[in-house]
Structure 1
Amino acid sequence: MKKSGILNRHLAGALAALGHTDLVVVCDAGLPIPPGPVVVDLAFRAGTPSFSEVLRGLQDELVIEGAVAAKEVRDHNPEVTAQLEEAFPNLELVSHEDFKTLTHQARLVVRTGEARPYANVILRCGVPF
């Protein structure tokens, strides 16, 4: 049994299968999820687990070479905006409609219980060398 890191077997397995340039969507409970990608639904209750805590856990596990968020996050969710801009200095911002279109290219979607608006990000996997 694992003693640290992500313990959820479905999420840990899905992360192990990712490769360079694969896209991972970390989303709030309301984002529409397209057909196709593997979905690990962590949502338990509204707000649990939070977007912030799931994103921090994924940052500990993945090499991330880029990130994309909806530009609307800046006007509607200052806490998530601050977290994203601190974690990803080169954060790319697109319209929410374009963001939803990009989710169709994802290999993995991790749904949180987040109940605040625009708490979504697309992570592009990198390599550790």
Structure 2
Amino acid sequence: MKRAGILNAGLAGAMARLGHTDQVLVCDSGMPVPPGVRVVDLAFLPGIPAFADVLDGLLAELVVEGATVAEEVRAGNPGCADLLAARLPELAYVPHEELKRLSAGARLIVRTGEATPYSNVILRCGVAF
């Protein structure tokens, strides 16, 4: 049994298969999921697990070289905007509709139980060397 880190077997395995420049969408429970992309659905109840908790767990284990969020997060969910800016210094903003289009290129989608608007981010994997 694992001592620490991500315990969800499906998520841990999917993360182990990620490579440089692969994209991971971490999303709220309302984000549309494009067909054909692997999804690890962690949503249990509205707000559980929270977007921030899932993001922090992923960032503890992934090398991230950049991230993309919806520009609407600034006005529509300032708390999430502040969280993202604090955790991800290389942050690009695009319209929400563009973020939805970009999500089709994700290698993995991690769906949270978050129930606040625009709690979505596409992480671009980096390398540890």
Report the TM-score when normalising by structure 2: 0.99
Report the equivalent of 2:12.
12
Query: Secondary structure of the residue that 1:98 maps to in structure 2?
Result: helix
- Residue identity (%): 60
Q: Which residue type is aligned with residue 66 of structure 2?
A: G
Runs of 4 or more above 3 Å deviation:
none
Q: Which residue type is aligned with residue 34 of structure 1?
A: P
Q: Which residue type is aligned with residue 47 of structure 1?
A: G
How far does residue 54 in structure 1 lie from its aligned partner after superposition?
0.2
Query: Secondary structure of the residue that 2:30 maps to in structure 1?
Result: coil
Unmatched segments (≥5 aa) in structure 2: none
Report the equivalent of 2:84.
84
Q: Which residue type is aligned with residue 106 of structure 2?
A: A
CA contact (8 A) 2:65 2:90 kept: no
CA RMSD of superposed structures (Å): 0.5
Q: Which residue type is aligned with residue 72 of structure 1?
A: E
Report the equivalent of 2:68.
68
Alpha-carbon distance in structure 1 between the residues aligned to 2:7 and 2:87: 23
How far does residue 90 in structure 1 lie from its aligned partner after superposition?
2.4
Unmatched segments (≥5 aa) in structure 1: none
What count of residue pairs does the alignment treat as equivalent? 129
Report the TM-score when normalising by structure 1: 0.99
Structure-to-structure mapping, 1:36-115, within 5 angstroms: 36-115=36-115
Query: Secondary structure of the residue that 2:26 maps to in structure 1?
Result: strand
Q: Which residue type is aligned with residue 123 of structure 1?
A: L
Q: Which residue type is aligned with residue 125 of structure 2?
A: C
How far does residue 34 in structure 1 lie from its aligned partner after superposition?
0.2
Alpha-carbon distance in structure 2 between the residues aligned to 1:41 and 1:113: 9
Report the equivalent of 1:25.
25
Query: Secondary structure of the residue that 1:115 maps to in structure 2?
Result: coil
